[in-house]
């Protein structure tokens, strides 16, 4: 049994071969190059999604009239897999980083938007009565009430959507680009190098773990602790 694991079989690489491939890809720089390319796309697409989804979510959350109209639109678009957009992404953005970014953006956008909207809509109305009583300006209400009140939920949404973004980056890279861990998988498969495929998969897992760990640390910030400690 151990022997089989070590040597591998016809349809999976053994540990020995995997280790060799790992060292090979790590030393010739391919692994780093592809990892950095993937991380770059995820980061950019993710930031783009935050930049648009958080303000839009806060706006919709606080404007019931708009929310009523936008909610069906959002719920209609949301179940469409980001990957289903690939033909359009390529038609609109051509070849290169842009279509991949677009797909990552789509994947991260909806979870952030929905959580932010929900969080902003469910802020206790009493806080706004206090705000109107103390005559806070709209800007102060935004900074002192809306943003801090929704921060814990937004952070949770970021954690979920970063995972999703990392999930689709691989798929996005299987089209239209010549770098990234997704490309490494497709390229190695075409070359029948299952050991390389496995190295890429392992790397994806490890980076995903590291990303989640990083973002989970944000949950310990003082600005959001009140939510967890509340009675």
Nearest residue (CB) to another protein, 152 versus 182: 152
* SS3 of 172-221: HHCCCCCCCHHHHHHHHHHCCCHHHHHHHHHHHHHHHHHHHHHHHHHCCC
- Count of residues of this chain found to bind another protein when the rule CB under 8 A is applied: 27
Considering the complex, what minimum distance in angstroms separates the CB of residue 112 from another protein? 20
Based on the shown chain and the rule CB under 8 A, indicate whether residue 121 belongs to the binding site for another protein.
Answer: no
Burial (0-12, 13-18, 19+ Cβ within 10 Å), 219: middle
How far apart are the C-alpha atoms of 117 and 57, rounded to whole Å? 4
Closest CA to 185 of 207, 170, 205: 170
Q: Looking at 3, 72, 139, 217, which residue binds another protein (CB under 8 A)?
A: 72
Considering the complex, what minimum distance in angstroms separates the CB of residue 216 from another protein? 20
Nearest residue (CB) to another protein, 8 versus 148: 148
Residues 51-70 that bind another protein (CB under 8 A): 68-69
Q: Which residues contact 10 (CB under 8 A, 6 or more apart)?
A: none
Q: With beta carbons less than 8 A apart as the criterion, state whether 49 and 165 touch.
A: yes
Residues 140-169 that bind another protein (CB under 8 A): 144-145, 148-149, 151
Q: Interacting stretch for another protein, rule CB under 8 A, among 11-19, 42-50, 126-134, 191-199?
A: 126-134
Residue 80: in which H helix or E strand, if any? none
Based on the shown chain and the rule CB under 8 A, indicate whether residue 208 belongs to the binding site for another protein.
Answer: no
Contact residues: another protein, CB under 8 A: 68-69, 71-72, 124, 126-127, 129-130, 132-136, 144-145, 148-149, 151, 223-227, 229-231
């Amino acid at each position: 049994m151990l022997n089989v694991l070590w040597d591998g079989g016809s349809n999976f690489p053994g540990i020995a071969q995997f280790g060799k491939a790992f060292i090979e890809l790590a030393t010739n720089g391919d692994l780093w190059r592809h990892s950095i390319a993937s991380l770059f796309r995820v980061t950019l697409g993710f930031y783009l999604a935050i930049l648009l989804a958080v303000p839009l979510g806060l706006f919709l959350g606080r404007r019931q009239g708009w929310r009523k109209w936008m909610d069906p639109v959002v719920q209609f678009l949301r179940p469409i897999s980001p990957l289903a957009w690939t033909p359009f992404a390529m038609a609109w953005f051509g070849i290169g980083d842009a279509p991949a970014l677009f797909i990552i953006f789509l994947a991260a956008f909806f979870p952030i938007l929905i959580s932010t909207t929900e969080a902003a809509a469910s802020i206790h109305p009493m806080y706004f009565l206090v705000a109107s009583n103390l005559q806070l300006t709209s800007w102060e209400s935004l900074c002192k009430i809306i943003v801090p009140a929704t921060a814990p939920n937004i952070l949770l949404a970021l954690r979920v959507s970063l995972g999703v973004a990392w999930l689709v980056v691989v798929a996005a890279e299987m089209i239209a680009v010549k770098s990234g861990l997704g490309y490494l998988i497709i390229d190695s498969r075409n070359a029948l190098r299952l050991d390389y495929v496995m190295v890429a998969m392992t790397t994806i897992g490890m980076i995903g773990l590291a990303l989640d760990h990083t973002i989970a640390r944000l949950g310990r910030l003082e600005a959001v602790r009140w939510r967890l400690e509340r009675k």
